Amino acid sequence: MCISSAFVLERQLTLVTPPSDASDASDASDASDATALPVEPTPAPTADAEQAATVGDATPAAPFGEAAEAATSEPTPATTPQAVGSLAGMVALVTGASSGIGAATARELARRGARVILAARRGDELAAQSAAITQAGGVAHTLTVDMADPASVAALAEQAPQVFGRVDALVNNAGIGSGGPFANSTPEQINQIVQVNLLGLMQLTRALLPGMLERRRGAIISVASVSGMIATDPLYSGVKFGVRGFMLSLRRQLRGSGVSVSTMSPGFIRTPLTRRLRGPIPMPGPQVVANAIAELIIHPRREVIIPGWYRLPIWIEGAFPWLVDVGLRPRR
């Protein structure tokens, strides 16, 4: 069994890491799904069959909107009529909201009744996303931010609560990818990915957390990656392991405070950042992740993995890491 598994991994596992694009540094909202470990997939899920694998128990937290009356242990599908309005009255801040997962999440939260603050670096694309939400009957506001600049992150943390009076839910989604040998990385590239993907996330969370704790009500969701469970690219996996460590420990620290902390760990998701990838790996669209993020606000969980079949390579990494070593050995 081990020999055959190693053969499958050697033949099927290929490290595919999209190149870093400095021009999209603080609003490349797809970067979190950029370097997940491809494996020999199960049959591609249909639109109705795409679902998340949840990890861990529910986190006690003050529910939002209609969820205060209807919270259950099983998430309500986002496509049902009951989902619309379930976040009414909530204020959500979504970073990396100009495209991909961030834009889809902002639209989904607005569809469910939340007032949404979209933050990213590309103002023109933010305006287009905000206009789409408004035209659909939602409420949206935009703020520009460069997550690579701590001063810009601090300004966002100061401005966001002033838009609608508070921030109830924070979705840390902004990020960038990386690629190539670590030995070829420049100090600037290392600093940029650590600041955008990890330090900026921590700084923004730290700035907005006291208000949530004072109200004893809030939700913090960070988009990590399957690459934060399976070591692939040194830089990207390094910061995504950091995101998961930060979120999982923060969740334990805040348990019982009324503020929920959940981690979203996607694999390959069909977004602009993965548009150049080819192969047999099924890639659901960003709406699947957006639906799951909305449900995490209503029904907090420790961690969600999308698509669910990534549980297999994650399990292999934990149980038989040498198999993954074989599958990801450098091609020369």
Question: pLDDT at position 257, please?
Answer: 97
Question: Under 8 Å CB-to-CB from 332, ≥6 apart: which residues?
Answer: none
How do the domains of the chain map onto residue ranges? 23-38+52-323
Q: Is 108 exposed, middle or buried (0-12, 13-18, 19+ CB in 10 A)?
A: buried
Tens place of pLDDT for every residue, the chain, 332 residues?
A: 443 444 334 433 443 333 333 333 444 444 443 333 333 333 333 333 334 555 555 444 455 543 333 333 333 333 333 445 689 999 999 999 999 999 999 999 999 999 999 999 999 999 999 999 999 999 999 999 999 999 999 999 999 999 999 999 999 999 998 878 999 999 999 999 999 999 999 999 999 999 999 999 999 999 999 999 999 899 999 999 999 999 999 999 999 999 999 999 998 886 666 666 666 677 778 999 999 999 999 999 999 999 888 899 999 999 988 998 888 877 66
Question: pLDDT at position 329, please?
Answer: 79
Question: pLDDT at position 28, please?
Answer: 46
Q: Which residue has the tokens 């799904």?
A: 33
Which one of 36, 103, 110, 236 is the catalytic residue?
Answer: 236
8 Å CB contact between 40 and 281:
no
Alpha helix segments (H runs only) across 255-310 = 286-298
What strands, in cross-sheet order, belong to the sheet with 115-120? 53-58, 301-306, 259-266, 218-223, 169-172, 91-95, 115-120, 139-144
Question: pLDDT at position 272, please?
Answer: 60
Question: pLDDT at position 7, please?
Answer: 36
Question: pLDDT at position 324, please?
Answer: 87
Question: pLDDT at position 237, please?
Answer: 95
- For residue 268, which amino acid is it? F
Question: pLDDT at position 274, please?
Answer: 63
Question: pLDDT at position 56, please?
Answer: 54
pTM over 0.85: no
CATH 3.40.50.720 is right for the domain spanning 23-38+52-323: yes
Backbone angles phi, psi at 302, to 5 degrees: -65, -50
310 belongs to the catalytic site: no
